[in-house]
Amino acid sequence: MQTLNSLPCGQCAFFDGTTMPRPGKTSRLGWCAATSVYPAEDPVGRPAPRGVKRAAPGELPKPVVVTRQQVLPGCNKAAPASAPEAITRANLLAKVRGR
């Protein structure tokens, strides 16, 4: 039996947020990288995430547009985005020492 998803799309690892024309501003909309079909070649200034499905050359992309707050209860691909590792003295020392 499939469990219901309660993760907002904006917190999912597959959320590919779009940027606004103004620098530093982000939109509330984005593409679901897990279910969208991206263009065969990336538009200038808009690289796609690694590992996405691509349309064949000459075919149209099929974006699945979601909002940051949207929750898709039936989504079986939802995965929490990994939080960046905290930069602490102990973490830095462990990296330097190769642990």
Cβ atoms of 31 and 64 within 8 Å: the answer is yes
- DSSP SS3 for 15: strand
Res 65 pLDDT > 80: yes
According to DSSP, the β-strands at 26-32 and 15-19 are antiparallel
Q: What pLDDT is stored for residue 44 in this prediction?
A: 83
Q: How far is CA 93 from CA 15, 16, 20, 70, 98, in A?
A: 33, 33, 39, 40, 8
Pull the structure tokens for residue 96: 């330097």
Over residues 36-52, the pLDDT tens digits come to 999 999 888 788 888 89
Q: What pLDDT is stored for residue 81 in this prediction?
A: 86
Q: Give percent of the chain with pLDDT exceeding 70.
A: 85
Cβ atoms < 10 Å from Cβ of 35: 16
- Stretch 24-29: mean pLDDT: 80
Task: Give the sheet arrangement for strand 65-67, strand by strand.
Answer: 15-19, 26-32, 65-67
Query: For residue 33, what are the contacts with CB-CB under 8 A and spacing of at least 6?
Result: 14, 15, 16, 48, 49, 52
Res 1 pLDDT > 70: no
